[in-house]
Amino acid sequence: MDKILVQGMRFYGYHGAFPEENKLGQRFYADVTLELDTRGAGETDDLSKTVNYAKVYELTKEVLEGEPVKLVETLTAQLSDRLLEEFSIVEACVVKVIKPDPPIPGHYDSVAVEIRRERGKD
């Protein structure tokens, strides 16, 4: 299966388990890999036969800057579900959401959740 990668997207959201995270907000990053057949687009140079990267970014922004949730797991699952709903040509996706500088004891660069979802599988 071919892959389209949209990496290093950066957003500001109000997600987290602690009240101060919901009030102050923080940065979130996302990497998305979409698995699909790109032959039609490659042969015809036709954007309608592939995934528009700008739409991937906008959808990711809606989720990561949207309604606050407590868990990075929830954000990641919501984003993967939305990608599969929006792009019927996509057979599977890998979504990674990164929370840099999490407010937990100790020194961490970041925490992240990465999931893979396939069309038609729960």
> CA–CA separation, 16 vs 97, rounded Å?
13
pLDDT value, residue 121: 77
Query: Catalytic one among 23, 61, 99, 121?
Result: 99
**Domain map of the chain by residue range?**
2-118
Q: What is the pTM of this model?
A: 0.93
Over the stretch 7-41, which tens digit does the pLDDT of each residue have?
A: 999 999 999 999 999 999 999 999 999 999 999 99
Point out which residues pair with 35 in neighbouring strands: 3, 92
Grouped pLDDT means (10 residues each) for the chain, 122 residues: 97 94 95 98 97 98 97 98 97 97 80 95 70
Q: What is the CATH number of domain 2-118?
A: 3.30.1130.10
* 94 phi and psi angles, rounded to 5 deg: -120, 125
Active site (annotated) includes residue 99: yes
pLDDT value, residue 122: 63
